[in-house]
Amino acid sequence: MFILNWYVTKNFLATFSMAIVVLTFAMTGANLMKVIEYISEGVSPLIAGKFLLLGMPMALAFSIPWAALVSIMLVFGRMSADNEITAMRACGISILQIISPIIVSSFLLSCLCLWLQLQIGPPALGEARDLVKSAAANSPLSFFTPGIPVQLGNLTIFIDGKESSGGEDRIYGVQLYVPDNDGTTKQDILASHGVVSVEPSTQVLTVTLYDALLETVEGTGKERRKEHSYSESIELHVPFGDRYNQKDVFIKDKYLSYKSLFARLAIYLKRGMDAAGVDATAINVEINQRIALALAPIAFMMLGMPLAIRTSRRETSIGLCLSVALGALYYGGVLVSDALRNHPNLYPQYVVWIPPLLFQLFGVVYLTKIARK
């Protein structure tokens, strides 16, 4: 029996290792692109690398269940297609003995996911967000995004491009709006290029524009008129501390550990807020979502295993398609509950449990049918 259990476990772990690498890389692809962009803008590679690592726990919390599902579908689909399961059962080995290593593995993976979802992942995600803010304050070009208006102080700035060259941070195709007291545009500045620098100690961003055309509104009422002028260079000083260095007093639920979530829920209830209120329901939804996502390996094992055995296909594409379909159904419940979190009368905290319960119910039915054959 040990040899049989080790054979099933070895095949599962080998497939799981490949699947977890591919899926985790896919889920961190967006963060990886951000890291590359931060480094190109002059952010320290150590800070950029730390940002990537801080996002890894939550990426693993999502990729582990899916990798387990893919591994189960591929391994047991192949074993069934090769009649290995039929041969084992012909030797008197029950279906429960065959799948027992996967049951243990799924339980251990769910424990790991619980730890990541409830304790490690959310605070790390919040720390990554704060790290981005501090990195932006030390990298002038990170304030600007080509083609998107940027609000700095009371100024609105558009740029067409940016680059760091020769020790200077340059922006190109600059258009800058200076507002008047009544909210209208006081000055419209067009510049071919500019140089930006930052002084972290005083939290001031310096923008020096070159070859600038200025359109200034003078006068009031009927006397308002536009005057045009040219300047070889204009230097602007913009304080950025209020935007990038302030600390959030209220931390979003998704960045809190489970202890902080329960503490916040207790405070709401102590203040007399109904447990069915919007704020309390939102916290309940967050807690239930994390637990449901962490228990996904068990749910995927319960339904994925009998489906793989019954389909009896060696083709990797079939197993991958079924894995994607089952994963989409499971995570669909999370998306629906998230969309309903502001509607406590619909009990969104319980909606998230519909897919896990259905997965396990159908899984028990299918495994019972297979065991009786």
- In tens, the pLDDT along 69-79 reads 889 888 888 88
Total number of domains constituting the chain:
2
Q: Are 254 and 300 in the same domain?
A: yes
Q: Are 86 and 53 in the same domain?
A: yes
Task: Give start and end residues of each alpha helix (H) in the chain.
Answer: 2-27, 29-40, 45-54, 56-81, 84-90, 95-115, 121-137, 241-244, 258-270, 278-294, 296-311, 316-339, 348-351, 354-372
Q: At residue 142, does pLDDT exceed 80?
A: no
Q: Are 256 and 128 in the same domain?
A: yes
244 lies in some domain? no
Strand (E) or helix (H) holding 138: none
Q: Are 305 and 233 in the same domain?
A: no
337 lies in some domain? yes
Domain boundary among 183, 211, 239: 239
Residue percentage of the chain with pLDDT more than 70: 85
Residue percentage of the chain with pLDDT more than 90: 14
Q: At residue 89, does pLDDT exceed 70?
A: yes
Q: Are 129 and 272 in the same domain?
A: yes
Domain boundary among 239, 258, 281: 239
Q: Are 222 and 258 in the same domain?
A: no
346 lies in some domain? yes
**pLDDT computed for residue 245 by the predictor:** 47
- In the structure, what pLDDT confidence band is assigned to residue 249 with cuts at 50, 70 and 90? very low
Q: Which residue has the higher pLDDT, 132 or 208?
A: 208
Q: Are 221 and 98 in the same domain?
A: no
24 lies in some domain? yes
144 lies in some domain? no
269 lies in some domain? yes
- In tens, the pLDDT along 7-35 reads 888 989 999 999 999 888 888 877 777 77
Q: Which residue has the higher pLDDT, 193 or 306?
A: 193
- In the structure, what pLDDT confidence band is assigned to residue 240 with cuts at 50, 70 and 90? low
* Average pLDDT over all residues of the chain: 81
Task: Give start and end residues of each alpha helix (H) in 55-207.
Answer: 56-81, 84-90, 95-115, 121-137
Q: What is the mean pLDDT of residues 182-189?
A: 80
Q: What is the mean pLDDT of residues 300-322?
A: 73
Q: Are 64 and 110 in the same domain?
A: yes
142 lies in some domain? no
Range of the domain at 6: 2-136+250-372
What's 175's domain CATH number? 2.60.450.10
Q: At residue 43, does pLDDT exceed 70?
A: no
Domain boundary among 180, 209, 239: 239
Q: Are 351 and 211 in the same domain?
A: no
Q: Are 229 and 283 in the same domain?
A: no
Q: At residue 286, does pLDDT exceed 80?
A: yes
165 lies in some domain? yes
pTM of the model: 0.70
Cα end-to-end distance, the chain, whole Å: 21
Buried b (16+ CB within 10 A) or exposed e, 148-169: eeeebeebebbbeebeeeeeeb
Q: What is the CA radius of gyration of the chain?
A: 28
Q: Are 130 and 199 in the same domain?
A: no
Q: Are 284 and 158 in the same domain?
A: no
Ranked by mean pLDDT, the top range of 89-98, 131-140, 235-244, 294-303 is 294-303
* C-alpha span between 240 and 204 (Å, rounded): 6
